[in-house]
Chain A
Amino acid sequence: MKLLKFELLKLRKKSRGWLGPILVFVLIMTAFPLTVEMLNKDIDQSFLSVLWIATLLVMMLATEDIFLEDFNDGTLEQMAIKHNSLSGVITIKIFVYWLLIGLPISLLGALYGFGITSSADLAIQLIPILMITTYIFLNVFSFGNALSLTKGSILGILITMPLVLPLLVVLGKVVIAINLGMNFLGFLFLLLGILSIIILVLPIIISFVIKAHLE
């Protein structure tokens, strides 16, 4: 759709918008093995935790001005006048952010997984998990950004972080499941289920919040 093309164009050209988070991710994931080697601890066990944390932080960074910029320069206003409900626009925007930031990070994360643990199974299992997780994070943090649109995005993102922590707990269980090689598909479907609910519900809520801000 046209909207998709537009949002893609906007984000693609704004190189600090997508390159920044990816580079931060690369930085964290590269720094991790260096520090761990120096401390001589077991890399495999802590790798996955560092991966989740890095993903979390990078997604927070990525959504820092997902709506802020459009709000400040008036684009959001025009969209609100043109479309009755903003949820379509929001869904597409988040999808574009995921395409340019979430997807590369998932692939990179899996690559790092392979590089650090030398287990191809793990790497392949990581790809879908990371793809879904980054998408969920993106949605929730966009909600946070929308909440504090006029007050600076940090407050909103910090406030919605507690909503994401239960997901981290689930991810922790995924770690165990992966290590013991059991029930991986079950967790995947659980994550998919959570994602589908979030994709349907959150854009509507975010649209409501943004409309309230525009008043």
Chain B
Amino acid sequence: MIKKFIHQFASPKTYLFQVDRAYPYIFYTSLSIYLGALFWGLFLTSEDFVQGNSYRIIYLHVPASFISQSLYLAMAFASAIFLIWKVKLSAYLVRSIAPIGAVTTFIALVSGAIWGIPTWGTWWAWDARIISTLILFIMYLGLISLHDSFTDNEKADKFLAILVIVGSVNIPIIKMSVEWWSTLHQTASITVTEKPAIDPSMLYPLFGSIIGFTGIVVCLVILSSKLQILKREKNKSWVKDYV
């Protein structure tokens, strides 16, 4: 039953056409949400008690780091689907998410560094969360280079999926790194169980920016996946009609 359901939606051609239709909506909606949240956060809220105006980079840094980790989890999920049910589209998705993940992690690292200058006095520190995020960045690059080093695409997909799953051990480390070790990073201000430790006037733009950023990243993933699909299926007849 599940197999049939998955195979129905697993055709790269169907995916491509559906995604083409949905793309403009997602793009413009998320762009407006993000810009709206940014505007609210940048201009309409007051300064932070401790950090002054410099805390405002939170509207870039937090969405970026949140997304970079979520993208990796998405890749792990897609890899599992690929290994169990052999859905080729999953493999394409994994390969297309990887570069976007790398870019997002890079943004997280750089925005974090910029934030660090006024608050910690340094743009780099070897604390656990920064190191694990750096490891995540290197992993993304490693995944891309591993996949591209193979001429045999089927093998490449398999190994990519395996490496993604083995490497997902890094994600819990990142998330828990602020709890397990005493680091420069503060502990989570937003958790599912407790009341947020952050002021509501900053909380809402933060949520907005996370949602908007997610949407923008989804658009990037869509573009990247279209590229992957067209590249890998280029011998099929429907591609020749499409292009």
Chain A–chain B contact at Cβ < 8 A: yes
Residues of chain A at the chain B interface (Cβ within 8 Å):
143, 147-148, 150-151, 155-156, 158-160, 162-163, 165-166, 169, 173, 205, 208-209, 212-213, 215
Of the listed residues B128, B139, B159, B170, the one surrounded by the most CB atoms of chain A closer than 10 A to its CB is B159
Q: How many A-B residue pairs have CB under 8 A?
A: 53
- Chain B contact residues (Cβ within 8 angstroms of A): what range? 20 to 34
Expressed in whole angstroms, the Cα–Cα distance for A148 and B217 within the complex equals: 31
* Contact of A212 with B158 in the complex, beta carbons under 8 Å: yes
> B181 to chain A: which residues have CB within 8 Å?
173
Contact of B142 among A151, A159, A205, A209 (CB under 8 A): A159
* Contact of A147 with B167 in the complex, beta carbons under 8 Å: no
Q: Closest residue to A197 on the B side, CB-wise?
A: B169
Residues of chain B at the chain A interface (Cβ within 8 Å):
128, 131-132, 135, 138-139, 142-143, 145-146, 149-150, 155, 158-159, 162-163, 166-167, 169-170, 173, 181
* Contact of A163 with B167 in the complex, beta carbons under 8 Å: yes
Expressed in whole angstroms, the Cα–Cα distance for A9 and B152 within the complex equals: 35
Given the interface pairs A162-B138, A162-B167, A163-B166, the reply to whether A155 lies near B145 with Cβ below 8 Å is yes
* Contact of A148 with B149 in the complex, beta carbons under 8 Å: yes
> A208 to chain B: which residues have CB within 8 Å?
162
Expressed in whole angstroms, the Cα–Cα distance for A205 and B138 within the complex equals: 22
* Contact of B162 with A159 in the complex, beta carbons under 8 Å: no
* Contact of A151 with B150 in the complex, beta carbons under 8 Å: yes
Expressed in whole angstroms, the Cα–Cα distance for A158 and B131 within the complex equals: 17
Expressed in whole angstroms, the Cα–Cα distance for A100 and B180 within the complex equals: 35
Expressed in whole angstroms, the Cα–Cα distance for A147 and B156 within the complex equals: 10
* Contact of A155 with B146 in the complex, beta carbons under 8 Å: yes
> Which 3 A-B residue pairs are closest in the complex by CB-CB distance?
A159-B142, A162-B138, A162-B135
* Contact of A169 with B167 in the complex, beta carbons under 8 Å: no
* Contact of B163 with A147 in the complex, beta carbons under 8 Å: yes
* Contact of A163 with B159 in the complex, beta carbons under 8 Å: no
CB distance from B186 to the nearest CB of A (A): 19
Contact of B145 among A159, A160, A209 (CB under 8 A): A159
* Contact of A212 with B159 in the complex, beta carbons under 8 Å: yes
